[in-house]
Chain A
Amino acid sequence: MTLMQPASRGFDAINLAGTDADSFAAAVQPYTSRMIRLAARLAPRCGPDDIVQEALIRAWRHRERFDPERGSIASWLMAIVANEARRAGSRLRLPMAVRMPMQRASVDDRIDVEAAVAQLSPRQKLAIDCFYYADLSVLETAAVMGCSESTVKTTLADARARLRIGLGEPR
């Protein structure tokens, strides 16, 4: 099994400081799909497009702070999206999400797996959401979680171990 996914690094060498709006838009465009998916996973009750737009505006305002020596542009953007998604979710001030019951009898494998994922610990769920659903790399997941890549891998392994129990015999 290979956990590592190739990160999109096409624009990682860009120094964003001083870029104009057009260049900045072009630089971040390749990452919007994953940004939207991440927003949708982390704040499912909020509009992911709005979250990503807000995140991109924040990124634009702080673009001079992006240091390619310290990490990829993708990781930087994902961390900002995660922050925005969390803020958007908290502003709804909804009750704590109710854990979905296990749906072992479901014929929809995805629902079944997602129901099992919902039973994970918050950090395990976050790692799964980022890596498997938002399709982030381990490096980007680490940026979102604020931890090292090895911690992400460990967390993912622990999550899969728990999921095996929750899912029974995965097909």
Chain B
Amino acid sequence: MTIDQDELVDRALRESGDQWRNSVSNDLRVDPAWFRRSARWSRPAMALLVAGAATAVLLIAVTIRLVLWSAPQTAPGTTAAPSALPSAVATEPITTCAGGVSPATCAEAARIAVSAVASSGWTPMRIWINSGLLCPDQGCLFDPNANFPYPIPPDGGQWVANAEIAFAESDKHAGMNIATDGSGLVPVLIGYRVPALAWCSGTCPSAVTTEGPFRLELVLPHLDWKPGDPITGTAILGFDGPASTTVWGSGGGPIAFSYAEVGGIRAVDPIWSADCAPHLLDPPTPISAGLSKSGAVSGDEPDADFVRSFLFGGPGVRLPAGSWDISAIANFHDGADCSGAAYTVMATVRISVTGELPSSPGPAHPEPNPRGAYVIELSSAGSAFTPITVGAEGAGCERLLADADANRICLIANNLNPLIIGAEAYGALNDAPSPAFHALVWRARADADPLVCGRGGLEGELLDRCLAEAQAADYTYAAGQIQIKVRIGGAAPRPDAID
């Protein structure tokens, strides 16, 4: 083809393009309100919103319920998002109880937790109630690896749980510890912070969408994955009704999954088999489906190569590096033989696939358990060593008051959780031997478990020293006029141990 001929085709295409553009309406006014209320709109929700004004209020509530961790950012005290939300979004938050907290305590803790964050003006959407304590400083709130001093409960009360709350209007979560003062539960609000994606805070990350009586939840064990990691997760389709019901959908099951690159063009949408089969939905036994992949590649898409490799690249769900939206999509009808109303419910969780972050979350929030009774032997001013049983509440440590550090070590070592012991160094655990360091030695000896040293956060030379002292046959802690031996394996039975 000559240049002239190419120009002729080019001209024909330009003319055709001009004519086509003139025939297409392209007037779209961008409304800032779209963004203010964009707390996770799903495409099905958008379509249904257009379908009927009668469903609009419900849809707003449904879509707002898709709470993840990247909504527009504001902070308590600012005047941004809350007022922009329609009043219809004030739905009941979803509460998850974990860590063995009793249902009654959990329910009450959730109630007071909501009241504690009322001043933020934000709408609580998810509440996690868990045992143990959150780091009582906003700077390390939700950080499962943070060392922090064991906080003193208010008014002589006892800690019973912690609460984490996610909001519709912010990606910040509220964190608080909850104590009981004998007459009721008392929330101690720590602050608001965006949980790092690597943390499985409270419980595992999840997204929930409710449409009518149907509830779809997508749960992943964590949000950060390495390339090549088989990504796991579970979608749960539940039915909130007085009795069981039957939905009709693909014979392969109503739930499938989509994967879409955030800010990119790579995406795989699921396919369902065309048959129609009944699926029983019983309120107490929802339908669940593990993360899987399905889809089709036609070759006429810019990401065809990716889709092909994703679908046919072997078993398991594996995604390349990047940020991805994983969506569980439930497609079904509420009438026999796929008649009646059609439902498409979608719940989306965003993950990061990177080679730089660990593929598993850090440990759970530290759970203090200051009930690790153990045995020491005390010698004062050269006297013979006398056994002392340090009680579950630290009784016996007062015998060491002749030396403040020894007394403190004795009390700190009463914690069963090495993280709590290490936290007593206030972040300087590895700088120099401290009461926390010696307490780790004592706890390691009492438990006959040298690994306590490392689990408490010791590193380098101090870790080596702790390991040596934890296993030494003739270990003695000397301070002024007193000397203390700690028996190896001298800990009381640990029915309450968390490890």
Contacts and interface: CB of A to CB of B under 8 A. Distances in A.
Contacts of B375: none
B34 A57 contact: yes
A164 B6 CA distance: 8
Interface in B441-498: none
A127 B21 CA distance: 16
A1 interface: yes
Interface string B169-195: 000000000000000000000000000
Contact of B301 (A57, A114, A122, A163): A122
A53 interface: yes
A139 interface: no
B97 to A, nearest CB: 30
B16 A132 contact: yes
B12 A113 contact: yes
A87 B43 contact: yes
B32 interface: yes
B309 interface: no
A79 interface: yes
B300 interface: yes
B26 interface: yes
Interface string B32-67: 111110101101001100100000000000000000
Nearest to A84: B43
Contacts of A164: 1, 5-6, 8-9
Interface string A111-143: 001100100001101101000110100000000
Interface size, B (range): 35 or more
B264 A160 contact: no
Interface residues of A, number: 67
A144 B302 contact: yes
Contacts of A171: 8, 12
Task: Name A's interface SS.
Answer: helix
A135 B21 contact: yes
Interface string B260-283: 111111110101000000000000
Interface string A3-34: 00000000000000000111011101100111
A161 B1 contact: yes
Interface string B11-31: 111111101110011111111
Interface string A31-72: 011111100100000001110111011001110011000000
A15 B298 CA distance: 37
Nearest to A30: B30
Nearest to A162: B9
B19 A87 contact: no
Nearest to B50: A50
B425 to A, nearest CB: 36
B13 A163 contact: yes
B260 A87 contact: yes
A1 B7 contact: yes
A65 B263 contact: yes
Contacts of B299: 122
B267 A133 contact: no
Contacts of B24: 36-37, 40, 48
A143 to B, nearest CB: 8
A102 interface: no
A53 to B, nearest CB: 6
B17 A133 contact: yes
Contact of B14 (A37, A54, A93, A132): A132
A167 B13 CA distance: 11
A82 B263 CA distance: 11
B41 A144 contact: no
A99 to B, nearest CB: 11
A37 B190 CA distance: 50
B109 to A, nearest CB: 31
A88 interface: yes
A24 B16 contact: no
Contacts of A65: 262-263, 323
Contacts of B267: 83, 86-87
Contacts of A28: 30
Contact of A113 (B5, B16, B36, B263): B16
Contacts of A93: 271
Given A54-B46, A62-B262, A146-B302, A22 B16 contact: no
A40 to B, nearest CB: 5
Interface in B55-85: 70-72, 80
Contacts of B25: 36
Contacts of A113: 12-13, 15-16
Interface in B301-324: 301-303, 323
B32 A170 contact: no
From B10, B71, B261, name the one whose CB has the most chain A CB atoms within 10 angstroms: B10
Contacts of A122: 298-301
21 contacts: A21-B36, A35-B28, A36-B25, A49-B28, A56-B34, A56-B35, A62-B263, A79-B263, A91-B43, A110-B15, A110-B16, A114-B20, A122-B299, A133-B20, A145-B302, A146-B264, A146-B265, A160-B13, A161-B1, A170-B11, A170-B12
Given A145-B302, A147-B302, 16 more contacts: A21-B35, A29-B30, A34-B26, A52-B28, A53-B28, A54-B46, A57-B35, A62-B70, A86-B301, A109-B16, A133-B21, A144-B265, A161-B1, A163-B9, A164-B1, A164-B5
